[in-house]
């Protein structure tokens, strides 16, 4: 376990630490058992004790947002000199670990679902007057892996705090930018105004970040790359080129293009030119996409380069190569994520996305 706590530690006589969930630039995250109520919760504590005042503010901000696509704030406690935010424990992993880590991109149906739910959560926050400021894949939690049972945004609260560090990093120039852990993770999704005038960012910066994540989900990479080079490209204002595979397959071309068009609108340099979160919700609400659960398998065989079978835990599933989305070649032995439908002899898979083999 990392950070100040180990399993068995009890915070405020009530929250018993069970395990370590993760750590980012700003905070340690633990899974804890709330002994009073008898349920599991997420417990977050800032890394930097001098930041406690801002941490409290951040908890208050987070508590204002109440929506199914936003992690619920449950409590805020102090124990000795430490401060803790208690939040709904989301039993899943973040967008980075759950999805991007192995596949790079999602099929357009899944991407549409993520887009729709992200926009809903962000819109609810904006209605409550809350700007996230630090939207990035590790602040989006996913339950059910590729099946996307639930999508929840977290760390609305820490935004302001991260922002201060981001401001320091931004004002300290590009060298600080690349050494600040917070800035490094957030950078590829950061709006130009968040880099140039970090003290004056509004809700349009969140819209940019949602667009940047969408771009990543659809195309397999953040729109302006990562690291230092991204800063220049983000500020440049030139729209990022979209890979040809997006529209190469008539099975996916139309939805992929519709989604990418919205993502690119979000990535306009001038904040006033970007849509409101509400407008993205409306657009997504009109899109047709299937939300079937996804399964995982390995390509067993491919015949005539046209169709084949996927080995799964159950019976093999039939697929046609025209159902495969993404830049990666489908070949025997490849790991794939797919949805499947009733069929004679075997179920039929659609869509199919090639992913890395799971790590042992």
Ligand X SMILES: Nc1ncnc2c1ncn2[C@@H]1O[C@H](COP(=O)(O)OP(=O)(O)O)[C@@H](O)[C@H]1O
d(CA 169, CA 177): 5
In terms of CB distance, is 165 or 258 closer to ligand X? 165
If you compute the radius of gyration of the chain from its CA atoms, what whole number of angstroms results? Answer: 21
* Beta carbon of residue 115, minimum distance to ligand X (angstroms, whole number): 20
* Beta carbon of residue 71, minimum distance to ligand X (angstroms, whole number): 5
Whether the CB-CB separation of 302 and 229 falls below 8 Å is answered with: no
Give residues 11-30 in contact with Mg ion (rule: CB under 5 A).
Answer: 24
In terms of CB distance, is 112 or 162 closer to ligand X? 162
The site partner of 29 among Mg ion, other proteins, ligand X, none (C-beta below 5 to 8 Å per kind) is ligand X
Whether the CB-CB separation of 83 and 305 falls below 8 Å is answered with: no
The site partner of 49 among Mg ion, other proteins, ligand X, none (C-beta below 5 to 8 Å per kind) is none
Sheet holding 140-143, edge to edge: 93-94, 140-143, 150-153
User: Coil, helix or strand for 87?
Assistant: strand
The site partner of 71 among ligand X, other proteins, Mg ion, none (C-beta below 5 to 8 Å per kind) is ligand X
- Strands 317-320 vs 324-325: parallel, antiparallel or unpaired: unpaired
Which residues in this chain contact other proteins in the complex, by CB under 8 A? 36-39, 59-60, 63-64, 66-68, 72-76, 109, 113, 116-117, 120, 124, 127, 250-251, 253-254, 281, 284-292, 304, 306, 318, 320, 322-323, 339, 341-346, 348, 350
* Beta carbon of residue 291, minimum distance to ligand X (angstroms, whole number): 23
Q: Active site includes 134? A: yes
**Which residue among 34, 107, 134, 155 is the active-site one?**
134
* Beta carbon of residue 125, minimum distance to Mg ion (angstroms, whole number): 15
* Spatial CA neighbour of 349 closest among 305, 303, 297, 304: 297
* Beta carbon of residue 338, minimum distance to Mg ion (angstroms, whole number): 30
In terms of CB distance, is 345 or 358 closer to ligand X? 358
Give residues 115-154 in contact with Mg ion (rule: CB under 5 A).
Answer: 139
DSSP 231-268: HHHHHH-PPPPPPTHHHHSTTTHHHHHHHHHHHHHHT-
Q: Is residue 58 a contact residue for Mg ion (CB under 5 A)?
A: no
Angle at 23 between CA 97 and CA 122, to 5 degrees: 65
In terms of CB distance, is 194 or 283 closer to ligand X? 194
Burial class (CB in 10 A: 0-12, 13-18, 19+), 351: buried
Q: Is residue 268 a contact residue for Mg ion (CB under 5 A)?
A: no
Buried b vs exposed e over 220-232: b needs ≥16 C-beta within 10 Å? bbbbbbeeeebbe
In terms of CB distance, is 17 or 281 closer to ligand X? 17
Q: Which residues bind Mg ion (CB under 5 A)?
A: 24, 139, 155
Cite the active site residues. Answer: 134
């Amino acid at each position: 376990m990392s950070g100040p706590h180990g399993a068995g530690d009890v915070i405020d006589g009530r929250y018993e630490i069970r395990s370590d969930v993760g750590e980012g630039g700003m905070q340690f995250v633990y899974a804890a058992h709330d002994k009073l109520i008898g349920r599991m919760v997420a417990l977050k504590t800032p890394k930097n004790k001098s930041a406690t005042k801002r941490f409290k503010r951040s908890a208050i901000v987070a508590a204002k947002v109440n929506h199914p696509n936003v992690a619920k704030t449950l409590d805020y406690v102090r124990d000795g000199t430490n401060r803790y935010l208690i939040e709904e424990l989301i039993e899943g992993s973040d967008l980075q670990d759950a999805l991007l880590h192995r596949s790079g991109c999602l099929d357009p149906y899944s991407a549409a679902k993520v887009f729709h739910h992200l926009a809903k959560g962000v819109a609810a926050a904006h209605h409550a007057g809350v700007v996230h400021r630090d939207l990035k894949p590790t602040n989006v939690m996913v339950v059910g892996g590729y099946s996307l049972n639930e999508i929840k945004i977290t760390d609305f609260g820490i935004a302001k705090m991260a922002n201060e560090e981001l401001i320091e990093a931004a004002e300290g120039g590009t060298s600080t930018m690349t050494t600040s852990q917070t800035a490094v993770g957030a950078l590829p999704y950061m709006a130009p105004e968040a880099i140039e005038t970090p003290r004056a960012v509004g809700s349009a910066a969140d819209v940019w970040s949602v667009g940047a994540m969408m771009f990543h989900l659809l195309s397999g990479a953040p729109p302006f790359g990562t690291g230092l080079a991204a800063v220049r490209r983000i500020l440049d204002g030139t729209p990022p080129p979209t890979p040809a595979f997006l529209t190469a397959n008539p099975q996916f071309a139309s939805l992929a293009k519709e989604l990418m068009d919205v993502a690119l609108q979000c990535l306009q340099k001038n904040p006033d030119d970007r849509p409101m979160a509400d407008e993205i919700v409306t657009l997504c609400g009109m899109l047709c996409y299937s939300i079937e659960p996804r399964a995982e398998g390995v390509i067993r065989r491919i015949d005539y380069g046209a169709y084949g079978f996927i080995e799964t835990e159950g019976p093999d599933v039939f697929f046609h190569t025209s159902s495969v989305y993404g830049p990666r070649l489908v070949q025997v032995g490849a790991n794939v994520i797919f949805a499947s439908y009733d069929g004679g002899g075997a179920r039929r898979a659609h869509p199919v996305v090639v992913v890395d083999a799971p790590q042992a």
